[in-house]
Structure formats: structure tokens, C-alpha cells
Amino acid sequence: MKVTALAGGTGSAKLLRGLKSLPIDLTVVANVGDNVWMYGAYVCPDVDVACYTLAGISDVERGWGVRGDTFYSLERLARLGLETWFKLGDMDLAVCLARTEMLRRGGSLTSATERIRRALGAPSPVLPATDHAVETRVETKKGDLHLQEFWVRDRGRPAVLRVRYRGAASSSPTEQVARAVSDADRVVVCPANPVTSVGPMLAVRGFASLLSSTRARVVALSPMSGRRPFSGPAGKLMKAAGRRPDSVGVAEMYAGFLDALLISKGDAGMKRDIERLGVECAVTDTLMSNPRDEARLARELLRA
Ligand code: FO1
């Protein structure tokens, strides 16, 4: 079975680990909206968490970075007077510097990612959603912020007015992404923030129509339980986007392409509202507390 997973954010790592454990032909398409220049290196958090998870070296609980990484470079940078609120580990920094060098030599983000994931030993392809620069900007009462400034530096505190995907209108999915979505038997949308992790992919011109026209069944695991996300600022950002901050809001955002949504048992009362949107809905235990839960949910998504 050819499975293409759309991944982004800290919520995706656990489901990717579950998908990786199954005998399937897996391809990951990763969000690029939160990519950021930091300490002279181009950091691609969602591409990297996918590569690290598939390579078995990610800090799955934390949802980013490499397990057991050290922070000597960051300590040095702090002593040299730089702001070091973005905790990039040494191993992580090396990956980002390698990518920066590959890009500087004229490579695309897709080709750099392919080289890096192979070098790390990740067994499945990881495809950036686009090779164009798309940046998630959060307009707040404090000003127009990069997602990392909003979420990591300012701890998601500023009041949000609007979220924009800078560069999305003039971007396009790569050929590899178009093929991965069109040729899949199943597309799985990971339990990621619909506004900042999946939203930037859907904003890439032509990406949403790839999803609505693929012959694959498109299924998602809701990142929400009640009005709370499993991790991150999804609720606050969904409200800012004018959506209900719950699984119905998620279904509304994905209704144009989604065949089925898995929601948590506590949200069973939302099933009817979700089905009214033309999206099939299954209720299950959506908590991923251990690798067994991750594999079970991955299997349920392939059957949904
Ligand atoms: N998230 C944090 O909350 N604090 C950090 O210091 C931090 C560092 C970091 C370094 C590399 C990386 O790839 C991701 C990192 N993240 C950190 C996660 C990141 O900010 C977001 O959670 C993702 O961009 C959302 O997809």
C-alpha cells in the first residue's frame, strides 16, 4: 500500500513513528511554513522532525530535535552575545548547516532533504511541500511575527489578529509531491495544527486540488480533543482564523478533500456535525501514549 503522510508540527512525530512500523510504502510530505533562518543556518523543523523520526533519532516526546542532543554551540553563541531563545542542538545545527551549504551550492530544498534523510538513515522519502519560500506569519497586537517568534520566543502569548502564508500565492508543489499525492493509495493527514502546519501546505497553489482530485482516500486524525489540541497553539490560531477550535472546525477546514476524520471518544457528540459536512467520521482513542497506540492509530487510519 502506497501511503503519503502530510506532516507538520510536534503532533506529527508520534503518528509517523506508528506509520513507520507498518509494512507500507511510505512517503512523507512536510510543511515548510515554519522554516526559519537562525544562527546563519536554514532550519526546517517539520522536514527535520520527519527525517529524524523515520531515522529513529528524534525526540518524539518533545516533538522536535534529536534525542540526547547537546547544546554546546548554542552556549557559545550566547556567550558571544547572540539571542538564543531557539534551542537548536549541536547535531540539529550540523544538519541545518549541511542543508544551508547544499542550498548555497544551488541545490533545491527537495534534493538537500533527500541527501540528508539518506545520510541519516531514514528509510522513506521526505518531501518538502514546495521548493518555494512560504513563510507562516502571525499578525499580532505586538506586530507581524514569524511563527517561531510568536510560538517559541513569545510563547504564543500575543493576541493573534490573522495568520498569513507569505509567498504561498506564487508557490507550487514540487513534481515529487504531486506524484506522491496522485499515486498514493491513501493520504494521511497527521494530527497537526490545521492553521500553522497543514494550512501552509494547503495554501501552496494547486496543493489542495491535488488532494481533492487524487484517487486515494484522504483520511485525517484530528489534533483536537475537546477544545484543546494535543500540543501547540492550534486552538488559539483556529479561533483567529474564524474556525471552531475543535474537531468540527478541523473537518470544516479539510472538507474540500477529506474522506474520513478520526476523532477522540470524548468528541463523539461532534460526529453528526462532521458527517453533515460530507466527511465520514470514526470515534476512537486518539491518545498516543506509547508506540503501541501509535501503530494502532496508524492501522486505524489505513482502514478508515
Ligand atoms: N520549539 C520550542 O518550543 N522551543 C525551541 O527552542 C525549539 C527549537 C527548535 C529547534 C529546531 C527545530 O527543528 C524545532 C525547534 N522547535 C522548538 C520546534 C518548533 O518551534 C515548532 O514546534 C515547529 O516549527 C512546529 O512545527
Task: Write out the DSSP string of 121-159.
Answer: T-SS-EEESBSS--EEEEEETTEEEEHHIIIIISTT-SP
- Give the whole-angstrom CA distance, residue 147 versus residue 107: 25
Whether 103 contacts 126, CB under 8 Å? no
CA of 64 to the centre of ligand 1 (A): 6
Instruction: Pick the atom of ligand 1 nearest to 31's CA.
Output: 26
Which residue's alpha carbon is nearest to atom 8 within ligand 1? 87
Ligand 1 first shell, C-beta below 6 A: 8-10, 34, 43, 45-46, 48, 64-65, 86-88, 92, 148, 151-152, 197
* Residue written as grid cell 470515534: 283
Question: CA 187 → CA 60, 181, 217, 277, distances in Å?
Answer: 22, 7, 6, 19
Question: Which SS3 state, helix, strand or coil, does residue 120 take?
Answer: helix
Which residue's alpha carbon is nearest to atom 21 within ligand 1? 9
pLDDT in tens, 75-131: 999 999 999 999 999 999 999 999 999 999 999 999 999 999 999 999 999 999 999
Q: Quick one: average pLDDT of 181-185?
A: 98
- Give the whole-angstrom CA distance, residue 140 versus residue 249: 22
pLDDT in tens, 271-295: 999 999 999 999 999 999 999 999 9
CA of 216 to the centre of ligand 1 (A): 31
- Give the whole-angstrom CA distance, residue 226 versus residue 203: 26
CA of 90 to the centre of ligand 1 (A): 14
Which residue's alpha carbon is nearest to atom 18 within ligand 1? 64
Of 27, 135, 45, 33, nearest to 89 by C-alpha is 45
Whether 43 contacts 66, CB under 8 Å? no
Instruction: Pick the atom of ligand 1 nearest to 85's CA.
Output: 6
At 63, is the pLDDT very low, low, confident or very high (cuts 50, 70, 90)? Answer: confident
